[in-house]
Amino acid sequence: MTAQEQWSALLTQFFVFDPKSPFIFTSTLFWIFFAGVLLADGFLHRRTLARNFFLFAVSLFFYYKTTGLFFLLLVYTAAWDYLMAILIHRARSATMRMAWLIASVVMNLGVLFYFKYAYFFTDAYNAVAGTHYPVFNWLAHWSNGFFGTHFTVSKIILPIGISFFTFQSISYTVEVYRGKLRPLTRFTDYAFFVSFFPQLVAGPIVRASDFIPQINKPYELTRQMLGMGVFWILNGLLKKIILSDYLAVQLIDRVFDNPAVYSGFENLLAIFGYSLQVYADFSGYTDIAIGVALLLGFHLNANFNSPYKATDVSDFWRRWHISLSTWLRDYVYIPLGGNRKGSIVSYLLLGFFVALVAVLSRSWLVLAIAAGCMAVLMVAGLWIAPFRSWLNTNLNLMLTMLLGGFWHGASWNFIIWGGLNGLGLVMYKAWKHISPWRDTSKWYFRAWSILLTFSFISFTRVWFRSGSSSGWNEMEKTHDISSEFSSALVMLDRIFLGMDLRVVPRVMAAYWPVVLVFLAGMIIHWLPEAWKQRYRAWFAGLPYGAMAFIAFLAVVLVYQVLSAGTQPFIYFQF
């Protein structure tokens, strides 16, 4: 191959979408891209309008390199909600303001449901009606006829990150409707907010009210911001490669793929290991996103706060995936009535999930029983005041967690996972008043509460991980309850009914490096927050030479491990 052909191949690899080598934070191509962005940004940082347009353009290029022509869907979403926000602001009546808001929400959720849940609902309908309808991609069919494209009509591909930018765009029109934001006058500014590449495909979900005020502020990159940006990038890479990918490859993936051939103790190790893996993977991505944004002069909110220090389920959800938890609280839980009352929408959602339970069982009898139970709940709520108060307090909480589970994917297991966490929250609210361990100021009560919470969260993730095995790149596969539920049941059966403690020494001898990595990760996680703030500040205050040397050593370590193979970020499928 001549030098010209080599350069041509390199440029093609960089500029043309290749599904086998997308732009992700663990790829060399991304860091070449980011170095170019930083260089160009250095020339544009004093010209706000040009800089914002440039960052919007490179964000679109990043999304194109990540998921191909679906960047056009991102542009469409941005254009629609930009227009809806203007119409909401200009509307002269409350009715029209609400109508334009509904148009925004329906379009966003419609697109999300089409791409993410088409297979799920087709499978559900086929299960109830006894039909065998295939999924048909009407958008691909329309494009092929109108533009002469050649998209496959028998398959719907899920765009990476669609759940994140959809929720992000909805937050903008809702905030304009509530009068907390004025609509932006330039489309490129709004599109830049929706598409900002560091957090585009796996969060955190950025609120319009948090990010938009930063768009037209003068550019600022202090020495502290630079140091913290580098720290978060390195911290995220180490979490992803050293913790998450190592645990996945060496233990977790092989056990979850075939739990029946492993001992109960190995299954137990895999469950606890997966809790650390999913945290290191997702928070690692978030750390890198925060660091990259900082180097560009933008502040993203924290998405995690040491969730495995939580002393109860409620505390855990205040610490885990904070941007989603607060989004669901502000845009779902509170509008449904919060802990004060159940609304009409609450009972409609309850009916929706009752119908899902019936589909899950594939039985009209179960549907009748579930509908009867729902009717009894509503009647009891109307006539028995104490029960009505309990129902109002917990109904919306349970529904929010079920929707949160459904947000994660078109899988029964995600709904089960959300329901278990909702049940945990409801039970904790009753238990906390009589718990003998509620005084967490005592270290032994606190330690026990942390262990109990971590164990509960880890065991609910048996269903989460089983649902994740049917990810965005496998959406065309049938998602029936038997296939998705069985692996979770097998794993639990191996732990609770097939546990043989005699194999523990042999398992520990075989997996001692994995156990050491797991313990090291948990110890670092449990370090006091004050200690973590000190070593972050220490790193950010180092001379540039020392900082560069440490960064070089960390990158060498990361890429030594990376050479053995890397795993895709778990939350790309959501």
- Using alpha carbons only, give the angle 357, 138, 402 rounded to the nearest 5 degrees: 25
Q: For residues 286 and 206, give the distance between their C-alpha atoms in angstroms, rounded to a whole number.
A: 12
Task: Give the residue carrying structure tokens 């299960």.
Answer: 127
Cβ distance 481 to 412 under 8 Å? yes
Q: For residues 153 and 476, give the distance between their C-alpha atoms in angstroms, rounded to a whole number.
A: 12
Choose the catalytic residue: 45, 141, 408, 525.
Answer: 408
Burial of 116 (0-12, 13-18, 19+ CB in 10 A): buried
Active site residue 321: no
Q: Establish how many alpha carbons lie within 13 A of residue 309's alpha carbon, considering only the half-sphere containing its beta carbon.
A: 13
Residue type, 568: P
- Using alpha carbons only, give the angle 317, 319, 324 rounded to the nearest 5 degrees: 65
User: Taking the mean position of all CA atoms in its chain, how far away is CA 445?
Assistant: 32
User: Taking the mean position of all CA atoms in its chain, how far away is CA 560?
Assistant: 28
The tokens describing 206, both together, are 């950025």
Instruction: Using alpha carbons, select from 357, 365, 202 the residue that is nearest to residue 289.
Output: 202
The tokens describing 176, both together, are 């304009």
Q: State the chain's maximal CA–CA distance in angstroms.
A: 84
Cβ distance 312 to 439 under 8 Å? no
Q: Where are the beta strands (DSSP E) in 83-194?
A: none
The tokens describing 399, both together, are 């529904």
Helix 412-431 / helix 481-496 crossing angle, nearest 10 deg: 50
- Using alpha carbons only, give the angle 310, 420, 389 rounded to the nearest 5 degrees: 90
Q: Which residues are catalytic?
A: 408
